[in-house]
C-alpha cells in the first residue's frame, strides 16, 4: 500500500527498521557524496517532516516500510524535486508507483514540473522513466583545487537583482533546445526551477561589451564548496579565464564543480588544470497536469 507518512509511523520505524539502500537520487546538497543510508532514526524524523513544501510517501507491505520517496519544493510552488528515494530489494517492485504517487502529491500542492537527479544508468533511472520522467540533460561533477595563477582572469562582480534577466538569457543561450523547456522558457519559470543553495550561496556575473557573458554560483557548506557556472557559447575560448576568475573570487582551495555536458569547453578547461571527473548524473523532469477548476474560457494547446 502506498500512502503518505503519518505521525504514528515514527515510533514504529524506530522499532521495526526501514529500507537499507543508499539514497538513489541527488539534491544539490548531496552532489559528490555517496548516497546516505537510511537509518531508523532518520526515517522516523523524515516521517514527521511533511508539510506545505515537502511530501513524504512510503510503500508499506504487511505493515513494513519497503520504500519511501521525498518530494519538496524548489524556489516556487510550481517546481518541485525528488530529494530522497530509498527502497529495499522487495520494495523495488513498487518504486514506479511510488514515484507516480509522489508526483501526484506534488501536483496537488501546485507543482507543474518535478525534477529528479540520479546517477547515469543508476537504479533510479528505469523507475523514473517508467513513471514519466524524461531526461532533460546530463551533468558531470569534477573535483579539484581553485588555485589562482598568473593567467588572465574574468573580472566577476556580485550579481544584482537587475542582472537576473541577463543571466536567464545567458542560460537559455547556453542550453540546447531540448533542455530549454526543462530549464524554463520564461524568466519566472527559470527562477522557480532554481535549486536551493546548499548552505551560503554567492552569485557573480562578468560584463563584456556584449552584455553578461558569464555567470558563476558558489555554494559553501561547512568546509565544502560547490561551483556552478555558465559561459556564453559564442566565447568558448574564454573558459580558462572563467575558471581563473572563479578561483580569485572563491578564496577557497578544494572544490567540486558541476558542469552540464552541453558546456564541454568548461569541462576541458577544468581537465586541463588537473581537475578529476568524479561521476555523471542524469537530470530528468516530469510535467504535471494542473487541475482545471473552471472550464469556461480555459486556453488549450492544439
CATH of the domain at 32: 3.40.630.30
H helices within 193-263, ranges in order? 239-250
Verify that 163 and 262 share a domain, yes or no: yes
How distant, in Å, are the alpha carbons of 30, 36, 38, 158, 278 from that of 223? 14, 19, 24, 22, 19
Of 132, 155, 171, the position where a domain reaches its end is: 132
Q: What average pLDDT does range 8-12 have in this prediction?
A: 71
Of 104, 132, 160, the position where a domain reaches its end is: 132
- Dist. CA 264–CA 233, nearest whole Å: 10
Indicate the pLDDT class of residue 283, thresholds 50, 70 and 90: very high
6-10, 63-67, 179-183: segment of lowest average pLDDT: 6-10
Per-residue pLDDT at 221: 80
Verify that 98 and 162 share a domain, yes or no: no
Q: What average pLDDT does range 236-253 have in this prediction?
A: 91
CB within 8 Å of 110: residues ≥ 6 apart: 77, 78
Verify that 121 and 153 share a domain, yes or no: no
Of 76, 109, 132, the position where a domain reaches its end is: 132
Verify that 245 and 121 share a domain, yes or no: no
Residue 300 lies in a domain: no
Per-residue pLDDT at 64: 81
Verify that 273 and 154 share a domain, yes or no: yes
Verify that 16 and 111 share a domain, yes or no: yes
DSSP of 55-71 = EEEEEEETTEEEEEEEE
Q: What average pLDDT does range 213-228 have in this prediction?
A: 90
Residue 105 lies in a domain: yes
Verify that 63 and 160 share a domain, yes or no: no
Indicate the pLDDT class of residue 171, thresholds 50, 70 and 90: very high
Per-residue pLDDT at 32: 65
Residue, of 12 and 57, whose pLDDT is higher: 57
Indicate the pLDDT class of residue 17, thresholds 50, 70 and 90: low
Domain count, the chain: 2
Verify that 159 and 122 share a domain, yes or no: no
Q: Taking 60 as the threshold, does the pLDDT of residue 301 lie above it? A: no
Q: Taking 80 as the threshold, does the pLDDT of residue 55 lie above it? A: yes
Per-residue pLDDT at 228: 95
Per-residue pLDDT at 292: 53
Chain center to CA of 182: 12
Q: What average pLDDT does range 176-181 have in this prediction?
A: 89
CB 266 within 8 A of CB 248: no
Per-residue pLDDT at 34: 58
45-49, 142-146, 192-196, 270-274: segment of lowest average pLDDT: 45-49
Residue 289 lies in a domain: no
Q: Taking 80 as the threshold, does the pLDDT of residue 300 lie above it? A: no
Per-residue pLDDT at 9: 74
Verify that 127 and 15 share a domain, yes or no: yes
3 has which bridge partners? Answer: 58
% residues pLDDT > 70 (the chain): 92
Residue 127 lies in a domain: yes
Report the chain's mean pLDDT, rounded to a whole number.
Answer: 87
Tell me which H or E stretch contains 11: helix 9-16
Residue 55 lies in a domain: yes
Domain region containing 109: 2-132
Indicate the pLDDT class of residue 65, thresholds 50, 70 and 90: confident
pTM of the full structure: 0.88
Work out whether strand 79-87 and strand 113-119 pair parallel, antiparallel, or are unpaired.
parallel
Residue 291 lies in a domain: no
Indicate the pLDDT class of residue 33, thresholds 50, 70 and 90: low
143 has which bridge partners? Answer: 256, 276
Residue 124 lies in a domain: yes
Phi, psi angles (nearest 5°) of residue 68: -145, 155
Q: Taking 80 as the threshold, does the pLDDT of residue 284 lie above it? A: yes
Verify that 156 and 81 share a domain, yes or no: no
Collapsing DSSP to helix, strand or coil, 103 comes out as helix
- Dist. CA 79–CA 211, nearest whole Å: 29
Residue 251, burial from CB neighbour count under 10 angstroms (0-12, 13-18, 19+): exposed
Verify that 162 and 269 share a domain, yes or no: yes
Verify that 22 and 124 share a domain, yes or no: yes
CB 96: neighbour CB atoms within 10 A? 16
Residue 296 lies in a domain: no
pLDDT in tens, 146-155: 988 877 899 9
Amino acid at each position: 500500500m502506498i500512502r503518505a507518512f503519518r505521525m504514528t509511523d515514527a515510533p514504529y520505524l524506530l522499532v521495526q527498521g526501514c529500507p537499507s539502500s543508499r539514497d538513489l537520487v541527488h539534491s544539490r546538497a548531496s552532489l559528490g557524496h555517496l548516497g546516505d543510508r537510511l537509518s531508523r532514526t532518520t526515517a522516523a524524523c523524515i516521517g514527521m517532516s511533511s508539510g506545505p513544501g515537502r511530501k513524504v510517501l512510503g510503500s508499506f507491505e504487511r505493515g513494513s516500510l519497503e520504500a519511501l520517496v521525498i518530494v519538496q519544493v524548489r524556489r516556487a510552488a510550481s517546481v518541485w524535486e525528488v530529494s530522497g528515494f530509498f527502497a529495499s530489494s522487495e520494495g523495488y517492485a513498487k518504486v514506479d508507483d511510488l514515484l507516480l504517487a509522489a508526483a501526484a502529491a506534488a501536483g496537488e500542492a501546485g507543482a507543474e514540473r518535478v525534477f529528479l537527479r540520479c546517477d547515469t544508468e543508476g537504479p533510479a533511472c528505469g523507475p523514473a522513466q517508467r513513471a514519466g520522467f524524461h531526461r532533460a540533460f546530463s551533468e558531470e561533477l569534477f573535483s579539484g583545487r581553485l588555485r589562482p595563477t598568473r593567467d588572465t582572469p574574468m573580472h566577476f562582480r556580485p550579481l544584482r537583482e537587475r542582472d537576473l534577466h541577463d543571466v536567464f538569457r545567458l542560460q537559455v543561450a547556453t542550453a540546447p533546445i531540448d533542455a530549454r523547456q526543462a530549464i524554463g522558457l520564461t524568466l519566472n519559470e527559470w527562477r522557480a526551477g532554481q535549486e536551493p543553495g546548499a548552505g551560503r550561496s554567492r552569485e557573480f556575473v562578468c560584463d563584456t561589451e556584449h552584455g553578461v557573458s558569464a555567470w558563476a554560483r558558489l555554494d559553501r557548506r561547512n568546509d565544502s564548496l560547490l561551483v556552478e557556472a555558465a559561459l556564453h557559447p559564442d566565447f568558448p575560448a574564454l573558459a580558462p579565464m572563467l575558471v581563473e576568475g572563479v578561483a580569485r573570487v572563491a578564496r577557497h582551495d578544494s572544490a567540486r564543480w558541476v558542469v552540464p555536458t552541453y558546456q564541454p569547453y568548461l569541462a576541458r578547461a577544468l581537465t586541463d588544470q588537473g581537475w578529476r571527473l568524479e561521476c555523471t548524473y542524469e537530470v530528468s523532469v516530469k510535467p504535471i497536469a494542473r487541475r482545471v477548476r473552471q472550464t469556461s474560457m480555459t486556453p488549450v494547446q492544439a
